[in-house]
Amino acid sequence: LVARMRPFGTTIFAEMSALAVRTGAVNLGQGFPDTDGPPEMLAAAAEALRGGHNQYPPGPGIPALRAAVAAHQQRFQNLTYDPDGEIVITAGATEAVAASILALCEPGDEVVCFEPYYDSYAASIALAGAVRRPVTLRPTADGRYAFDPAALRAAFGPRTRLVLLNSPHNPTGKVFTPAELAMVADLCQEFDAYAVTDEVYEHLVFTDAASPHVSLATLPGMRERTLRISSAGKTFSCTGWKVGWASGPAALVSAVVRVKQFLTYVNAAPLQPAVAVALALPDDYYTGFRDGLQQQRDQLVDGLTDAGFDVLGSEGTYFVTADITALGGRDGVEFCRSLPERCGVVAVPTQVFYDDIDAGRRLVRFAFCKRPEVLTEAVTRLRTLR
């Protein structure tokens, strides 16, 4: 194995899901829903499978899906992208992120990101021979997560090529505020950096969040330097489909297409028309899905609090984080490895998403994208920790 990949072992998600299967624990580790997405979407996929949509689709994705992605971004973010040239369909957001970094970074270029970061970011940056410059998000007294503006500025320099921004943020559940986004936007322009935004949780922002989800590309001067990434997995409860997209100015998108050609060439022919159907669903679908998830969040937050965790706020995503100190926990990895045995629940230690491990040592992440009865069982088990 090449040196640049040696630091990357089995992903924590695979490790923890395997642990859940082995121990029969309730799996609140890896973030995937346990119910299916909208029936209209599933029917469209079945129809496409039977209807002969089983060969290579066009390189940038089928026209109907690119048009649907464009209409969706217009509807929810008032962003205009030309489906012919400014949008590419990818094998999930994961491929879009990887292809963007590989397309834009020379070896030695620096990528500013916020830690804890989604695990594929570090690997994609390493594959490009680039260097990550993490800015640490830390719990605040009021139970949110924030960064030090001076640390953000200090992360930028002459080698900064791009900022990789995930909001709503996995694993913290943080939604970046307009003021925080403005700081990022100003620095991108001052240092002439690109932005790659991972917005896969764009529709999973709860009604009590400090601000709604705002795409960085909507800020002045940002559309022209931003690749905006999202995917169907979270919004439509189909994480196994791996249908994502990147949108941006034609020059940036064509760079991503150039790389994507040789990563996967194309993907998911029969699923693309189905995702186009899903994206066009009325607003009720999106708000209804969000409301259901918010109730699940509340259920899990109450249960974790009862069980003795110090629970941090979750404004969006599938996830909530909690500090384990009050339960006698000193290290999240040890805590999560022993949790199935202690009470039959699996969680994920968030320290594995930090370079500064101490900053996340006592934090663990729980997924609440599970049916209420599953959460009830998990909470019953967690209460035995007290």
Which positions touch ligand PMP (CB under 6 A)?
31, 92-94, 118, 166, 170, 198, 200, 231, 233, 239, 242, 244
In terms of CB distance, is 172 or 272 closer to ligand GLN? 172
Tokens of 369: 């994208």
Q: Which DSSP state fits 107?
A: T
Q: How far apart are CA 57 and CA 62, in angstroms?
A: 6
Residue 166 contact among ligand PMP, ligand GLN, none, beta carbon within 5 to 8 Å by kind: ligand PMP
Cα(163)–Cα(172) distance, rounded to whole angstroms? 18
Closer residue to ligand PMP (CB): 170 or 294: 170
Of residues 30 and 235, the one with the C-beta less far from ligand GLN: 30
Question: Taking a C-beta distance cutoff of 8 angstroms, is the pair 254, 106 a contact?
Answer: no
| Strand partners of residue 316 | 205
The CB-of-220 to ligand PMP minimum distance in angstroms stands at 25
Number of DSSP helices (H) and strands (E) in the chain, helices first: 14, 15
Residue in 147, 139, 266, 124 with CA at minimum distance from that of residue 196: 124
Range list of H helices, 78-159: 92-104, 119-127, 149-155
**Residue 8 found at the interface with ligand GLN (CB under 6 A):** no
Smaller CB separation from ligand PMP, 34 or 224: 34
Min separation Cβ 238 and ligand GLN, Å:
13
Q: Residue 204: in which H helix or E strand, if any?
A: none
Contact 331, 348 (CB under 8 A): no
Min separation Cβ 384 and ligand PMP, Å:
30
Give the 3-state secondary structure of residue 16: helix
Tell whether residue 170 is a contact of ligand GLN (CB under 6 A): yes
Specify which residues 194 forms β-bridges with: 162
Q: Which does 30 bind (CB under 5 to 8 A by kind): ligand PMP, ligand GLN, none?
A: ligand GLN
Any residues with CB less than 8 A from the CB of 178 and at least 6 apart, and which? Answer: 211, 214
Question: Among residues 223 and 242, whose Cβ is nearest to ligand PMP?
Answer: 242
| CB closer to ligand PMP, 191 vs 366 | 366
Structural contact between residues 379 and 299, judged by C-beta atoms closer than 8 angstroms: yes
The residue (of 215 and 231) whose beta carbon lies closer to ligand GLN is 231
Residue 197: contacted member of ligand GLN, ligand PMP, none (CB under 5 to 8 Å, by partner type): none
Shortest Cβ 160–ligand GLN spacing (Å)? 26
Least Å distance, CB 31 to ligand GLN, is 3
Lay out the site mask for ligand GLN across 28-67 (x = CB under 6 A, - = otherwise): --xx------------------------------------
The residues pairing with 37 across neighbouring beta strands, listed in sequence order, are none
* Tokens linked to 204: 């999973």
Minimum distance of ligand PMP from residue 96's CB (angstroms) = 8
Query: Of the candidates 4, 8, 13, 212, which one interacts with ligand GLN according to CB under 6 A?
Result: 13
| List of residues contacting ligand GLN (CB under 6 A) | 11, 13, 30-31, 170
